[in-house]
Amino acid sequence: MEINVENLSKLSRIRISGSDSVGLSENISSILEYSSKVQKVSGSIDASSDEYIGDIKNIFREDVSESKFSFKTSDIINSFPKSKKGYLSVKKIL
C-alpha cells in the first residue's frame, strides 16, 4: 500500500521533519493495511437509518444562555497565547 505522506501531511496541517519522518510512511501504510481488514465484513448499514445512529439521542435545546459553568470569561481569556482588549489575537487571514 503506497501512501503519499507529503500530501497527507499538508492536508492534516502537520509538518513532518527530522526524526519524525523516520519510518513514518511505512508505519502509516502498515496500520492502514491492517485496518482495511474491516472491509472483509459483509453487510453495511444505511448511513441515513436509525440503526446507523444507534442509541444516540437528540440533545438540542433552546439557544439561551445557561450558567452551568464555574469559570469566568477572564479565566478563558487569560489562557489565550495572545489577546488584545479581551479579544483573541491571531494573524490576519486575508
Partner 1 sequence: MEKLTIKETNNLLLKKDISVKELVDKHLEVIKEKDERLGVFLEIFSDIEENVKNAQNKIDEGNADLLTGIPIAIKDNILMKGKVSSAASKIIENYTAPYDSTVISKLKKNNPIFIGRVNMDEFAMGSSTENSAFQTTKNPHDNDRVPGGSSGGSATAVSSGMTPISLGSDTGGSIRQPASFCGCVGLKPTYGAVSRFGLIAMGSSLDQIGPLGMNVSDVEDVFYQIEGYDPLDSTTYGISERKKERLSSKAGKRIGVPWHLIENGGISKVVLDNFKSALKKLEDRGYEVEDISLPHTEHALNAYYIITPAEVSSNMARFDGMRYGKRVEGKDLLEEYENSRELLGKEVKSRIMIGTYVLSAGYYDAYYNKAHTVRRFAREDFKKVFGNEDGEKGIDIIATPTTPTSSFKIGDKINDPLEMYMADIFTVSANITGVPAISIPSGNVKEENGDMPAGLQLMAPWLREDVLFGVSKDFLK
List residues near partner 1 by CB under 8 A. 3, 5, 8-9, 11-17, 19-20, 23-24, 27-28, 30-32, 34-41, 43-45, 47, 51-52, 54, 59, 68-72, 75-76, 78-82, 88, 90-93
Cβ-in-10-Å burial (0-12, 13-18, 19+) of 26 comes to exposed
Please say which residue, 65 or 79, places its beta carbon nearer to partner 1: 79
For 67-85, b/e burial (b = at least 16 CB within 10 A) is: eeeeeeeeeeeeeeeeeee
Q: Residue type at 72?
A: K
Q: How far is the CB of 64 from partner 1 (least distance, A)?
A: 14
- The rounded distance, in Å, linking the Cα atoms of 24 and 82 is 33
Please say which residue, 85 or 92, places its beta carbon nearer to partner 1: 92
Q: How far is the CB of 37 from partner 1 (least distance, A)?
A: 4
Q: How far is the CB of 63 from partner 1 (least distance, A)?
A: 16
Which grid cell is 9?
Answer: 501531511
